[in-house]
Amino acid sequence: MADVLREEREGVFRDGGERLSVVDVDVHEMLTSIRDLIPYLEEPWRSRIEVNDGFKGPPGNPYAFPQPTGVAIQDAVTDDGSPAGSKLEMVQEQVLDRYDIEPAILNSLFHPTDHQIQPEFATALASAYNDWIVENWLDREERLRSSITVAAQEPHDAAREIDRAGSDPRFVQVILPAVAHHVFGKPYYWPIFEAAERNDLVVAFHQSGGTRTAVGLPPYYIEWHTAISQNWQSQLISLVAHGVFDRFEELKVAMIESSWTWVPHLMWRFDYNYRSLRREVPWVKRLPSEYIRERVKFSTQPMEYPENPEDLYRMFEMIGSDDFLMFATDYPHWDFDSPKQALPHSFPRDLQRKILRENAREFYDF
Amino acid sequence: MADVLREEREGVFRDGGERLSVVDVDVHEMLTSIRDLIPYLEEPWRSRIEVNDGFKGPPGNPYAFPQPTGVAIQDAVTDDGSPAGSKLEMVQEQVLDRYDIEPAILNSLFHPTDHQIQPEFATALASAYNDWIVENWLDREERLRSSITVAAQEPHDAAREIDRAGSDPRFVQVILPAVAHHVFGKPYYWPIFEAAERNDLVVAFHQSGGTRTAVGLPPYYIEWHTAISQNWQSQLISLVAHGVFDRFEELKVAMIESSWTWVPHLMWRFDYNYRSLRREVPWVKRLPSEYIRERVKFSTQPMEYPENPEDLYRMFEMIGSDDFLMFATDYPHWDFDSPKQALPHSFPRDLQRKILRENAREFYDF
């Protein structure tokens, strides 16, 4: 099966005679520093950054990364010490060109939602960030799409930002951090889903510096990174239990970097509980697994690699759909996946094609 | 395959000609009220309860249960309004006799670890509870074994209680609540594991009123009950990452009511992270999955029921061991499992026998 997706030159796949560009649903662009946003901010927020009094933006990941190159994959480390992911040329060379990727979706790791004070400042930072993305990334490279950054703690303001930025079709989704202090199924947050639906945008979840586990922030990064899928699980449970999918019938949700082999367990357990306990949530009209199967997609990265690769395919089958999974590199991070190596070669040819390309194209309507 | 474990009269299984009594690793005995402990307490703690000023013991589950009979299965509801599980006769009739169970392990839902103030009071409550168990349960029914209740917030005091109660061989394990505010891998808690190992006792984890998810206490019970396995996951990750299994080479751990179909995902993800990040935790000498496979057992209940029962067996195979699972009823709770129905009949005959009986007998050395 190794020749299913033949590599004609480095990174360019062909399926039979047809060129098969890959869709990458998770690339992280980075600010060089918070000062990059100065041109896009009004007062009084502009001065808050200009005077350079130590404000660095919303809190980032607190762990020292136990990899030789920190959080970055080796290739993505810059010569001048600026953050990995902050240079468009490197994204072009190392992602778009090298693997013939088109489009790649930029997912911000800059989450004003995690800025727990001064919500108007958070909202201003979100708008500035979206303007910065347009000018420095989308206008300079047509193979890119982007998420809309919001300050979700003020859902009505976030909805206004979604309407504003969402008028540009290069924004394809709204990104929310999978964190402990916002439980997004609650009606308080519904203006965000309403605005996403109104603008035909996906709502995506991704970890941030505010991501916690069932025991908070554990001492070691390896613990945190092993456990954090719990956050997406809890957000997904919240969306279903609060009836978000019943209320917003067109809403589509992407779980980015959540991993996905926990999905069968969660579907089974949630369905079992629903059968016994549904009188607590009478607005949920169908089995939880049905909403998940029909309305939610997951990204490949991080993939898991069981000793027996067949186990991964069995997991896939258990979810009962062949369109739930979308390829992601997670560039520029240490656990970057190449489209050449992410999927076991034993996955059926059609399925590989769907994961590497078709599922995302259909979901995002590219 | 339906006749694999033939039922000769209600609840009594025979495998060929041999009587096959079942081992149940999770039955919950309950206090009628905190006043049951008065005879086992010294001053000043005794008066704290005797004056009846409203103290009801450590916090319990805060949710109103959305089942017609509350948290209890219908059979276990008492005539006089006392808590389900508080009457030995009902446990005898509905568990031990009805299903020919011997032994059943009592797991306290009374967790002084969750009493976050006055640690000496918590320690006194734990001792009183263990004495109450001996006199009211173990001395009255020889088919019962029990967990030792501790106040884990003071690990040295907990270790002393383990030495004291553990001299009675009817105590077979130490039970700890899977909660957010104690992360049990940390060296602070090691006196507990040291005492358990010294007394040849298993350490078990079970949910309590302090159990939280990655988003804390979500609004609905169905959310909480779908997500709480996150707690056992985080405690397990903590034990491995902090080197508890390396330090205590004889330590055995039981995950009770954690469910288990999340285990393949966690093993794969943890192993992947270990391969990349192990320089952060150099005291962990082997792949995380190896500790889990060799030192940790899980209880059946709550079982999940995928549409295709084969999926459950596939999950089982992915864990790569046939002795990790032990049958539990979870009497008297609403999601009680009967040994007649818990396992898919398509599970191989030998495996059913191991799960219903042999695995627990070997693990607890009955």
Kindly report the length of chain A: 366
* Pairwise CB contact (< 8 Å): B280 & A66: yes
* Mode of pairing for the β-strands spanning A253-255 and A22-27: unpaired
Please judge whether B234 and A219 are an interchain contact, meaning their C-beta atoms are less than 8 angstroms apart.
no
CB A205 within 8 A of CB B214: no
Pairing between β-strand B6-9 and β-strand B12-15 as defined by DSSP bridges: antiparallel
Provide, as residue numbers in chain A, all residues whose Cβ is less than 8 Å from the Cβ of B278.
Answer: 222
Question: pLDDT exceeding 90 applies to what percent of chain B?
Answer: 86
Q: With contact defined as beta carbons under 8 Å apart, do B101 and B21 qualify?
A: yes
Which of B113, B215, B293 to substitute to test the interface with A, most A CBs within 10 Å?
B215
Which residues lie below 8 Å from residue A68, measured CB to CB, with a gap of 6+?
A74
Residues of B numbered 174-193 whose beta carbons fall under 8 angstroms of chain A's beta carbons: which are they? Answer: 180, 183, 186
The alpha carbon of B68 is separated from its chain's Cα centroid by a whole number of angstroms, namely: 25
Helix (H) or strand (E) holding A175: strand A171-177
C-alpha–C-alpha distance, residues B301 and A197, integer Å: 40
Which residue matches tokens 């307490």?
A: B41
**Cβ distance A122 to A87 under 8 Å?**
no
pLDDT band with cut points at 50, 70 and 90 for residue B14: low
Contact A262/B259, CB-based, under 8 Å?
no
Instruction: Using CA coordinates, name the residue in chain B closest to A334.
Output: B276
Nearest to B230 among A214, A221, A318 (CB): A214
**Looking only at Cα atoms, what is the longest distance across chain A?**
60
Q: Is the pLDDT of residue B177 over 90?
A: yes
Return the SS3 of A170. coil
User: Does the beta-carbon distance from B305 to A231 stay under 8 Å?
Assistant: no
- pLDDT attached to residue B4: 39
Q: At what angle do helices B263-277 and B310-319 cross, to 10 degrees?
A: 30
Whether residues A222 and B277 touch (CB distance < 8 A) is answered with yes
Q: Say whether A281 sits in a helix, a strand or coil.
A: coil
Chain A, nearest residue to B187 by Cα:
A219
What is the b/e burial string over A30-40, where b = at least 16 CB atoms within 10 angstroms of the residue's CB? Answer: bbeebebbbeb
Identity of the residue in B222, B237, B268 whose CB atom sits nearest the CB atom of A304: B268
Of residues B212, B229, B238, nearest to A223 (C-beta): B238
**B220–A231 CB contact, under 8 Å:** no
- In this prediction, residue B10 carries a pLDDT of 47
Instruction: Return the pLDDT at A187.
Output: 98
Average pLDDT of chain B, as a whole number = 93
B229 touches chain A (CB under 8 A): yes
Confidence of residue B61 (pLDDT cuts 50, 70, 90): confident
Strand-pair partners of B60: none
CB atoms A225 and B277 under 8 Å: yes
- B96 CB neighbour count, 10 Å cutoff: 23
> Would the CB atoms of B268 and A226 count as touching at under 8 Å?
no
B130 token code pair: 């263990």
| A107 in Cβ contact with A147 (< 8 Å) | yes
Beta-bridged to residue A15, according to DSSP, are A18
Interface of A with B in 194-223 (CB under 8 A): 212-216, 218-223
pLDDT in the model for residue B12: 56
- Specify the pLDDT at position B8: 40
Complex ipTM > 0.85: yes
What DSSP designation does B83 have? P
Task: Locate the chain B residue with the closest alpha carbon to A211.
Answer: B214
pLDDT tens-digit series, residues B216-272 = 999 999 999 999 999 999 999 999 999 999 999 999 999 999 999 999 999 999 999
**Tokens encoding B335:** 């999601």
Least confident residue range of A7-11, A294-298, B81-85, B199-203: A7-11
> Which of 64-103 (A) contact B at CB < 8 A?
66-67
pLDDT value for B1: 32
* CA separation for the pair B129, B125 (Å, rounded): 6
Chains A & B: contacts with CB separation below 8 Å: 188
CA distance B88 to A245: 46
Question: Looking at the partner chain, which of B233, B280, B314 has a beta carbon nearest the beta carbon of A227?
Answer: B233
Which stretches within chain B are classed as H helix?
45-50, 88-91, 119-133, 155-165, 190-198, 221-227, 229-241, 244-247, 263-277, 288-295, 310-319, 349-353, 359-364
HSE, CB side, 13 Å, CA atoms: give it for residue A151.
22
Q: pLDDT below 50 — which residues of chain A?
A: 1-10
Q: Which of A188, A263, A277, A283 to mutate to test the interface with B (most CBs of B within 10 A)?
A: A277
Cβ of A238 under 8 Å from any chain B Cβ? yes
Contact B192, B155 (CB under 8 A): yes
- Selected for mutation to probe chain A from B182, B205, B265 (highest A CB count within 10 Å) is B265
Chosen from A67, A207, A268 to mutate, greatest number of chain B CBs within 10 A: A268
- Chain A residues inside the 8 Å CB shell of B276: 67, 334-335
Measure CB to CB from residue B215 to each of A238, A308, A334 and give the nearest one.
Answer: A238
- Per-residue pLDDT, B172: 98
Chain B positions touching A320 (Cβ under 8 A) are 307
Nearest to A220 among B218, B272, B281 (CB): B281
Instruction: Kindly list the structural domains of chain A, giving each domain's residue range(s) and its CATH number in brackets, ordered by start.
Output: 4-364 (3.20.20.140)
* pLDDT attached to residue B152: 98
Tell me the C-alpha distance between A366 and B206, whole Å: 48
Query: Which of A221, A266, A302 has its CB closest to that of B280?
Result: A221
Q: Tell if the CB–CB gap between A231 and B214 is shorter than 8 Å.
A: yes
Of B218, B265, B273, the CB nearest to A265: B265
A263, A266, A268, A272: CA torsion to nearest 10: -160
pLDDT digits (tens, 9 = 90+) for B114-136: 999 999 999 999 999 999 999 99
- Cβ atoms of B150 and B187 within 8 Å: the answer is no
pTM of full prediction above 0.90? yes
Q: Which of B113, B205, B269, B290 to mutate to test the interface with A (most CBs of A within 10 A)?
A: B269
From chain B, the residues in CB contact with A225 under 8 A are 273, 277
H/E stretch holding A244: helix A244-247
Distance of alpha carbon A30 from alpha carbon A133, whole angstroms: 10
Flag if B219 and A259 touch (Cβ within 8 Å): no
With residues binned 3-state (H G I as helix, E B as strand, rest as coil), the percentages for chain A, rounded to 5, are: 40, 15, 45
Half-sphere exposure of A214 (CA within 13 A, CB side): 29
CA dihedral (B105, B109, B110, B116) in degrees, to 10, reads 130
